[in-house]
Amino acid sequence: MSQAPSAPADPLIANGQVADLVSALRTAGQTVATAESLTAGLLSATIAGVPGASAVLRGGIVVYATDLKHSLGGVSDEVLETEGPVAASTAEQLAVGARTRCGADWGVALTGVAGPDSQDGHPVGTVFLGLAGPGHTEVMRLKLLGDRWTIRIGATHIAVRELLRCVRRPDAGTSRQGE
């Protein structure tokens, strides 16, 4: 009798950091939700690739279109009109929106320009990462190089790394049930 071929390794979780994130969230009794624009669900799919992720991944919102950043993601009309969809304030409000709308402890947002063309004066590779959690909100501006896939996967891996850093902070708090 021949054995069935083994399943190929998931390239999105190959470096182990995503499994570390899921483990850290489980240990902390915390959950995460995403709001994604340029990554279009890639971050949620990456987290979901880890066995046991259902214990920590509440959900994700894909807000590729600008109007959905407001109606689904919770970004104010004022921010979208004055700063635009690719901005630090947009990423921050998306992270808070993902957290509150999905009832998660952590909200993570990615918005930016994957290319091939610049957008509203932002060059290709401009990415804003928003993180919102227990007593903590931060935004990072990233400048990534490469083609669309490289920028999107790079943003995803950085989001995983930075969320893991936040979850591991000594003052990261407890789950939303404790708020």
Pairing between β-strand 136-143 and β-strand 126-133 as defined by DSSP bridges: antiparallel
Out of 3.40.50.720, 3.30.70.360, 3.90.950.20, 3.40.50.2300, select the CATH number for domain 17-22+30-167: 3.90.950.20
Whether residue 36 is predicted with pLDDT greater than 70 in this model: the reply is yes
| pTM: predicted TM-score of the whole model, two decimal places | 0.92
Burial 63-98 (b: 16+ CB within 10 A, else e): beeeebbbebbbbeeebbeeebbbbbbbbbbbbbbb
pLDDT of residue 12: 73
Residue 13 clears pLDDT 80, i.e. is over it: no
Amino acid identity, position 110 = L
The CA distances from residue 58 to 7, 8, 86, 155, in Å, are 26, 26, 25, 20
Confidence at 177, pLDDT banded by 50, 70, 90: very low
The reported pLDDT for the residue numbered 5 is 60
Q: Express each pLDDT in 110-163 by its tens digit.
A: 999 999 999 999 999 999 999 999 999 999 999 999 999 999 999 999 999 999
Quote the crossing angle between the two packed helices 148-167 and 17-28, to the nearest 10°: 30
Q: For residue 72, what are its two tokens?
A: 């689904």
More confident position, 1 or 9 = 9
> pLDDT tens across 65-100, in order?
999 999 999 999 999 999 999 999 999 999 999 999
Domain locations along the chain: 17-22+30-167
Which pLDDT does position 15 carry in this prediction? 73
* pLDDT above 80: residue 24: yes
Q: Which of helix, strand or coil describes residue 33?
A: strand
